[in-house]
């Protein structure tokens, strides 16, 4: 009996691009501002309506993105495209507002160990600090996403009870975030666990406000997306070429490649509004700047053409 039928799958999916932020934050090479700008603009021109452009975290913690203010100033923004920026606290929000950002992403972890390493504070302290950020951002008319990290496993604490994600997703929704993105920060999730976590978290955050954010460390990211689709999620994060990681998560390698994701979604007959080859070209251009090939499979293999 067929499982992957149109009745079981969404007609359209939102792809939320994180390469310029989650990808470039982990690169040892400093990418020049002009190349970052060209990357973000090329991704938006490819039809991606959500491009997380940079982050206003402490520049000493993530020097790769210390030029966030200059990038947001320089960027030619397309109408209809949103360019969220990551902010850890009110100081980050102030810096984002100064640059006219209209969407922000806050973040918290579901374990104490990761929270300390990534944000130098306990989970409760981080949440208390996020409340005024979300409140002020919403009062200023910004769209707000809330990330939860290490939902499927923590490099410092191991396996995590899905009830943690349910509680914290509920807290974020109660604060007023528009969307909650569940992060598999170190790429340990498998499809059955994705289904289970989505079912548990959906009790606290409606499915239409959930996004899934997979790192592809162990090759399960696409299978996890498929599990998420069948569980009713319609927003997925990905990074052009599979750039990415988190400097404070031991073992976090690249995110799911946006091209791999688009290839699978389009093959399933799901609309995204995104031009796959244009994303691949953007990934190849940034790979040229970094001086190395990116890990994404489609980005390397290219389109399916008969060579006979
Ligand atoms: P802290 O050192 O504890 O900060 O860092 P503090 O509040 O004690 O302040 C110390 C100084 O930093 C002060 O300056 C502040 O003004 C300044 P001073 O008075 O000493 O001159 N400061 C700032 N400066 C600029 N921008 C700011 C800012 N905040 C404070 N926003 C903090 C705490 C949270 C700021 C720090 O730990 C930090 O920036 N962490 C970010 C780490 C990070 O970016 N990690 C990667 C992103 S998360 C991720 O990748 C996961 C995700 O992809 C999902 C997934 O995969 O799971 C989203
Ligand atoms: Mg990430």
pLDDT at 249 over 80: no
Find how far residue 281's CA is from the centre of its chain.
Answer: 20
Question: Do 80 and 114 contact (CB within 8 A), yes or no?
Answer: no
Angle, CA 270 vertex, CA 265 and CA 295 arms, to 5°: 15
Ligand 1 pocket test, candidate residues 57, 60, 149, 224, most atoms within 8 A of CB: 57
Report the pLDDT value the prediction gives residue 251, as an integer from 0 to 100.
67
Binned at pLDDT 50, 70 and 90, residue 246 comes out as low
* Any atom of ligand 1 within 6 Å of the Cβ of 89: yes
> Strands, E, within the chain: which ranges?
14-17, 50-51, 54-55, 85-86, 103-109, 143-149, 179-184, 210-214, 235-238
Report the pLDDT value the prediction gives residue 1, as an integer from 0 to 100.
86
pLDDT digits (tens, 9 = 90+) for 170-181: 999 999 999 999
How many Å apart are CA 208 and CA 165, to the nearest integer? Answer: 16
Report the pLDDT value the prediction gives residue 215, as an integer from 0 to 100.
96
Distance 8 CA to ligand 1 centre (A): 41
DSSP assignment of 33-80: HHHHHHHHHHHHHTT-SEE--EE-S-TTT-GGGTTHHHHHHH--PPTT
Binned at pLDDT 50, 70 and 90, residue 28 comes out as confident
Report the pLDDT value the prediction gives residue 260, as an integer from 0 to 100.
98
- Atom number of ligand 1 nearest to Cα 55: 44
In the numeric block, which tokens belong to residue 280?
Answer: 């691949």
CA-closest residue to ligand 1 atom 56: 185
* Any atom of ligand 1 within 6 Å of the Cβ of 235: no
Indicate which ligand has the atom closest to the C-alpha of 182: 1
Kindly report each contact of residues 290-293 with a partner whose C-beta sits within 8 Å and lies 24 or more positions away, as own/partner. Answer: 290/27, 290/29, 290/31, 291/29
In the numeric block, which tokens belong to residue 185?
Answer: 């920060």
- Which of 101, 154, 246, 259 is flagged as catalytic? 246
Binned at pLDDT 50, 70 and 90, residue 14 comes out as very high
pLDDT at 253 over 90: no
pLDDT > 90 fraction of the chain, expressed in percent and rounded: 92
How many Å apart are CA 48 and CA 44, to the nearest integer? Answer: 5
Distance 254 CA to ligand 2 centre (A): 8
Report the pLDDT value the prediction gives residue 283, as an integer from 0 to 100.
97
Distance 213 CA to ligand 2 centre (A): 7
Q: What domains does the chain contain, in order, with CATH numbers?
A: 14-300 (3.20.20.70)
* Any atom of ligand 1 within 6 Å of the Cβ of 114: no
Give catalytic status of residue 101 as yes or no.
no
pLDDT digits (tens, 9 = 90+) for 86-126: 999 999 999 999 999 999 999 999 999 999 999 999 999 99
Give the mean pLDDT of the chain: 96
* Any atom of ligand 1 within 6 Å of the Cβ of 119: yes
- Atom number of ligand 1 nearest to Cα 151: 57
pLDDT digits (tens, 9 = 90+) for 173-230: 999 999 999 999 999 999 999 999 999 999 999 999 999 999 999 999 999 999 999 9
In the numeric block, which tokens belong to residue 5?
Answer: 């039928």
CA-closest residue to ligand 1 atom 22: 58
pLDDT > 70 fraction of the chain, expressed in percent and rounded: 98
* Any atom of ligand 1 within 6 Å of the Cβ of 147: yes
Helix (H) and strand (E) counts for the chain?
Answer: 11, 9
* pTM (whole model) above 0.85: yes
* 126 to 35, 80, 226: CA distances (angstroms): 33, 32, 32
């Amino acid at each position: 009996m067929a499982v992957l039928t149109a009745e079981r799958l969404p007609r359209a999916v939102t792809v939320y691009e994180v390469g310029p932020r989650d990808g470039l934050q982990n690169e040892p090479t400093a990418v020049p501002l002009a190349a970052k700008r060209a990357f973000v603009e090329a991704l938006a021109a490819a039809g991606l309506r959500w491009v997380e452009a940079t982050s206003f975290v402490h520049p000493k913690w993530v020097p790769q993105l210390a030029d966030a203010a200059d990038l947001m100033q320089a960027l030619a923004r397309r109408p209809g495209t949103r360019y969220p920026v990551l902010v850890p606290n009110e100081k980050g929000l102030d810096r984002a507002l100064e640059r006219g950002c209209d969407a922000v992403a806050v973040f918290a972890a579901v374990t104490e160990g990761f929270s300390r390493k990534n944000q130098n504070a306990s989970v409760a302290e981080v949440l208390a600090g996020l409340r005024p950020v979300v409140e002020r951002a919403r009062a200023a008319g910004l769209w707000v996403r809330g990330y939860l990290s290490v939902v499927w496993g923590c490099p410092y604490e191991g396996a995590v009870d899905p009830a943690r994600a349910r509680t914290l997703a509920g807290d974020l929704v109660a604060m007023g975030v528009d969307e909650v993105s569940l992060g598999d920060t170190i790429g340990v999730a498998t499809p059955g666990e994705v289904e289970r976590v989505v079912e548990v978290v959906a009790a606290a955050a409606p499915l239409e406000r959930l996004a899934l954010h997979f790192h592809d460390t162990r090759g399960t990211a696409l299978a996890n997306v498929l599990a998420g689709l069948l569980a009713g999620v319609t927003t997925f994060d990905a990074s052009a070429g599979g750039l990415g990681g988190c400097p404070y998560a031991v073992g976090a390698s690249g995110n799911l490649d946006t091209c791999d994701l688009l290839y699978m979604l389009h093959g399933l007959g799901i609309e995204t509004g995104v031009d796959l080859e244009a994303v691949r070209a953007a990934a190849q251009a940034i790979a040229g700047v970094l001086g190395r090939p990116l890990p994404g499979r489609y980005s390397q293999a290219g389109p399916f053409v008969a060579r006979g």
